[in-house]
Structure 1
Amino acid sequence: MEHLLRSWQIAARTGKYVGLADDQYESLFYLAMLSWVGCVADAPEVSALFGDDIEFRSDAYGVDLAGASGLRFFTGHAGSGASVSRRLVATASLIATGGRGVVEGMQSHCTTVSTMAHQLGLPDAVGDGLRQFFTRWDGRGVPNGVGGTDIALPVRLFHLADVVEVHHRLGGVAGAVDVAGARRGKQFDPTIVDAFCEIAPAVLPEIGRQAELHELIADDRTLRRSLSEAELDVALEAVADFTDLRSLHRAGHSRGVADLAAAAATSMRLPEDRVRDVRRAGLLHDIGLHGLPATVLDKPGPLAATEWERVRLSAYYTERVLARPSALARLGAIAAQAHERMDGSGYHRGSSGSTIPVTGRILAASCMFRALTEERAHRRRRSVKEAATLLRTEVRAGRLDAEAADAVLATAGVGGKRRTGPAGLTPREIEVLRMIAHGASTVDVARGLGIAKKTAGTHIERIYVKTGSSSRSTATLFALRNGLLDALDL
């Protein structure tokens, strides 16, 4: 946790002693934040070569990856987790090709994350720096031959900080200084190493002071940038696209779920802000998959019990990660419900019935439908008609909400019959019920829907009769119990 934030702080503090210019400070921050995002681009390939890609990258911090030590590391991890015969084949292939697959993976990492920086509208210096992420001072990195001062100063600073942060946590100041010295003139710029070793106790952050790092960003005018609603959508779409890269079979999944859920929510006449929320939650609903190794995500056979538990935890990771920036917490609460089921059989909370808001119900139906129509390592893709049949089966079994599933199927163009809501409420009456639950008067309802005050009053009377309510508060409770409202709004 907070590895990249602490690495950025080390690099920025060290930069003051080696001539980091003010206009490079912002580039250093974004370079640090995005540096390892590109690892999702080659996760399937890394997994095929070295097994658990998360474990592989973690182990790599302890080794200088060039020369004999690098060869021992790569061959020692080749085919990890596989049978002895497969490990031998993987090792032989790695040696025979000269590690070409590893190099190609690094190039893919750099190219894709540089593209993300461009998509986010960041300065060209950030994208250019990210393309040098796997270079080395001695020129033995990727691209081969690029080294020395041809590497941008922010990149050289981060190369050192990224490694010493890990060794600081594991071995204290001495551990950080030792690894810096050992790789001086090889992976790291000697000038930066010398400056760091002199001031290491002052530039290494205190472990456990996470709040301080977030406060540093919030207080820094250079880094504190507000996004417009349109810019936020672009940023979330970038997150969705990179999340889907984590698996060979998920390209376009998050965008597809988001658009389907938004269209279904619109057909159910949810307010515009709710439609926007469910689309954004759809973009983010699988972000927790970054906590799963590709060996689990793309496993061709049944998952073991421990692997299945890791999958269930991915929904928790989604909610927890998005809860950290308070501006995204609401979206995280919706996104984490993509795998909940009405009968309580879903994950991660095992929520059921009225505890799942309508946005969560729509997202769950949208995610299931979209996933069924996509290929997976353990099954073939279903046709739209087959997916629709399976969705209706889930409704009959009590696992999916009928109204949400119908809206999704109608949006997807495979039917979905027109239904009345709970207690026989019409779509217009549900719309009015949502409004009065949020405190709208009869006049407010009439004005908001562009109808006569008398018509609005008639709708309210019918709502009270159908739901057995005698006041706004009891009608609101009915709406909550039946998933017509999001409790987070009240």
Structure 2
Amino acid sequence: METGHGAVEDGTVKLSEVLSALSYVLDMVEGQPAGHVLRSCFIGMKVAERLQLTEEERSALFYALLLKDAGCSSNSSKVAALFESDDFRAKKALKTSNWSRLPRAVVYVARTVSPEGSVWSKARRFLAVGMEGPKAARNLVEIRCERGADISRSMGFPEETARAIRALDEHWNGAGHPDGLKGEEIPLLARICGLAQTVEVFYTAYGPTSAEEMARTRRGEWFDPALVDVFLAEARAGGLWGALGEPDLARSISLMEPADRVIAATPEWLDLTAHAFARIIDAKSPFTYRHSEGVARAAAKIGGHVGLSEGKVRDLKRAGLLHDIGKLGVSNRILDKPGRLTSDEFARVKRHPGLTYEVLTRVAPFRDIADTAANHHEKLDGSGYHRGFAGEHLSRCDRILAVADIFDALSQDRPYREAMPMERVLEIIGRESGEKLSPESVKALGELVSKGEL
């Protein structure tokens, strides 16, 4: 995916570019190939053009399409637990299943549950999922869509955007979720988003012919018949499928944002985006509730205490908010495992800082914080991961973030344990001061705690 195009007139990057680049990690959470969100956005906006929606409507739709999966991490833990399966695998398989029809739903469950288990464990889990039935499906969709809508609101997008995300999985015939809306009860923008994302999944998995056939088959069932007709007219006009395969699709999408509604990626918008994605990150596992916010707060406090400039403190806070974005690429079967990880599982966890770096370097305004965010598990003696950097390769901000990460992990409640007493937290961190952790950062932490500022 290309980024960095379509800058506004003063040279500032567009917010849509930032969200387009970050959508790469949302694709991963949903078990989709890279570019799923972007291709869905292109399809949806092409339908909107044919419908001649107003610029206000197209702007609301544009950001709904870019943020449609903002809530995707919030049900990952429940999906993995319900199916006893890798959440990425379970979500990917669901996207091509007509789960509103009972026979197809049964086949999906049978193929998905306990893939590595015995026949008996598969049967047990199959029955358990069957007993949960529609209630479980509705709950999983509601968690995802409500969280996504809430995130869009927290970023300041209009209610039309939030409503489109909330009703993303409603079906024209009323058999969708979470509210069972039917026909024109479903907001128009949500109907467009739902059609666009499903067309994209089938296009990527099986090709254009299958995508068009799926739309015809589900016309009047999943999708608004009139919208299906508009989509098929766009497909027949030529150019749609070829455009989806262009290497610079991100540029084409950037140009689809209504010109008089372009949002520049100002520092304030970047802060809102970092906070929004911190919520997405921490929702992946119940073990990380508000961890990213806690790390960001501690890092900013330490940075200010040791005299970093206001700009450096702001960068450090953003790095704290986004340091674990790579964990969105780790299965919940590993993140939520109650017992000891195998060497292979731990190796997969240790790759998450590398993915953090990969994701953040895609985002032009976040490239300067990518190294610091990715170095949060590095140690002064070179014993950390993922790069094994020693002290001479670690910046002051790197060292601060490493201390802040450990501090928050030890001092906050977790579902599996209560927060450690502060004296114990400082004792554990203090033992590594000098050898593994920065003495300056550890000292600043202790002084802030003693003053009640952390």
TM-score, normalisation: structure 2: 0.85
| Range with greater deviation from structure 2 (340-349 or 359-368) | 340-349
Counting only pairs closer than 5 Å after superposition, residues 34-73 of structure 1 correspond to structure 2 as 34-50=67-83, 51-67=85-101, 68-73=103-108
Counting only pairs closer than 5 Å after superposition, residues 219-368 of structure 1 correspond to structure 2 as 220=257, 221-222=259-260, 224-368=262-406
1:382 aligns to 2:417 (yes or no): no
Please name the residue that 2:172 is paired with. Answer: 137
1-side partners of 2:118 and 2:428: how far apart?
Answer: 37
| Range with greater deviation from structure 2 (38-47 or 89-98) | 89-98
CA shift, 1:222, in A, is 4.6
Q: How far does the alpha carbon of each residue in 1:62-107 deviate from its partner, in whole angstroms, 9 at most, with x for none?
A: 2111112123213442344445444333322222233322211211
Residue 107 of structure 1 contacts residue 142 of structure 1 at CA under 8 Å; is this kept in 2? Answer: yes
2-side partners of 1:129 and 1:351: how far apart?
Answer: 45
Residue 362 of structure 1 contacts residue 408 of structure 1 at CA under 8 Å; is this kept in 2? Answer: no
1-side partners of 2:133 and 2:364: how far apart?
Answer: 47
- Give the aligned residue type for 1:341: K
Please name the residue that 2:163 is paired with. Answer: 128
CA shift, 1:8, in A, is 0.7
Please name the residue that 1:404 is paired with. Answer: 441
| Range with greater deviation from structure 2 (10-19 or 329-338) | 10-19
For residue 107 of structure 1, the aligned residue among 112, 119, 142 is: 142
Please name the residue that 1:465 is paired with. Answer: none
Residue 46 of structure 2 contacts residue 234 of structure 2 at CA under 8 Å; is this kept in 1? Answer: no
Residue 20 of structure 1 contacts residue 154 of structure 1 at CA under 8 Å; is this kept in 2? Answer: no
3-state SS of the aligned residue for 1:122? coil
Residue 14 of structure 1 contacts residue 195 of structure 1 at CA under 8 Å; is this kept in 2? Answer: yes
TM-aligned CA distance change 1:248 to 1:84, over 3 Å: farther
Q: How far does the alpha carbon of each residue in 1:160-208 deviate from its partner, in whole angstroms, 9 at most, with x for none?
A: 2212222222333222222222322221222222332343242235355
Please name the residue that 2:41 is paired with. Answer: 8
- Give the aligned residue type for 2:241: L
1-side partners of 2:123 and 2:206: how far apart?
Answer: 34
1-side partners of 2:365 and 2:289: how far apart?
Answer: 27
CA shift, 1:17, in A, is 2.7
Structure 1 gap segments, 5+ residues each: 416-490
CA shift, 1:304, in A, is 2.0
CA shift, 1:210, in A, is 4.1
1:31 aligns to 2:91 (yes or no): no
Residue 172 of structure 2 contacts residue 222 of structure 2 at CA under 8 Å; is this kept in 1? Answer: yes
CA shift, 1:122, in A, is 0.5
2-side partners of 1:319 and 1:230: how far apart?
Answer: 22
Please name the residue that 1:480 is paired with. Answer: none
Please name the residue that 1:439 is paired with. Answer: none
Residue 61 of structure 1 contacts residue 166 of structure 1 at CA under 8 Å; is this kept in 2? Answer: yes
3-state SS of the aligned residue for 1:160? helix
CA shift, 1:254, in A, is 0.9
1-side partners of 2:415 and 2:120: how far apart?
Answer: 23
- Give the aligned residue type for 2:402: A
3-state SS of the aligned residue for 1:37? coil
For residue 165 of structure 1, the aligned residue among 164, 175, 200 is: 200
TM-aligned CA distance change 1:213 to 1:228, over 3 Å: closer
- Give the aligned residue type for 1:243: I
Please name the residue that 2:221 is paired with. Answer: 186
Q: How far does the alpha carbon of each residue in 1:13-64 deviate from its partner, in whole angstroms, 9 at most, with x for none?
A: 1233344343221111111111112121222211110221111111112211
Q: How far does the alpha carbon of each residue in 1:111-165 deviate from its partner, in whole angstroms, 9 at most, with x for none?
A: 1111111111101101111121110111101135412222222222221221222
TM-aligned CA distance change 1:329 to 1:219, over 3 Å: farther
3-state SS of the aligned residue for 1:184? coil
Q: How far does the alpha carbon of each residue in 1:233-266 deviate from its partner, in whole angstroms, 9 at most, with x for none?
A: 2332222122111111211111111111111111
TM-aligned CA distance change 1:404 to 1:128, over 3 Å: same
Counting only pairs closer than 5 Å after superposition, residues 392-471 of structure 1 correspond to structure 2 as 392-395=430-433, 398-413=435-450
Residue 75 of structure 1 contacts residue 94 of structure 1 at CA under 8 Å; is this kept in 2? Answer: no
- Give the aligned residue type for 2:354: Y
Residue 319 of structure 1 contacts residue 335 of structure 1 at CA under 8 Å; is this kept in 2? Answer: yes
Structure number with greater CO (CA < 8 Å, separation at least 6) is: 2
1-side partners of 2:117 and 2:432: how far apart?
Answer: 37
Residue 260 of structure 1 contacts residue 411 of structure 1 at CA under 8 Å; is this kept in 2? Answer: no
* C-alpha RMSD over aligned residues: 2.3
Question: In percent, how many aligned pairs have the same letter?
Answer: 29
Structure with higher Rg: it is 1
- Give the aligned residue type for 1:149: E
Please name the residue that 1:460 is paired with. Answer: none
3-state SS of the aligned residue for 1:344? coil
2-side partners of 1:152 and 1:274: how far apart?
Answer: 43
Count of aligned pairs between the two proteins: 414
CA shift, 1:228, in A, is 4.1
1-side partners of 2:242 and 2:410: how far apart?
Answer: 47
TM-aligned CA distance change 1:96 to 1:369, over 3 Å: same
- Give the aligned residue type for 2:172: W
Please name the residue that 1:146 is paired with. Answer: 181
CA shift, 1:387, in A, is 2.0
- Give the aligned residue type for 1:6: R
Residue 296 of structure 2 contacts residue 318 of structure 2 at CA under 8 Å; is this kept in 1? Answer: yes
1:370 aligns to 2:408 (yes or no): yes
1:206 aligns to 2:243 (yes or no): yes
2-side partners of 1:411 and 1:218: how far apart?
Answer: 47
Residue 38 of structure 2 contacts residue 249 of structure 2 at CA under 8 Å; is this kept in 1? Answer: no
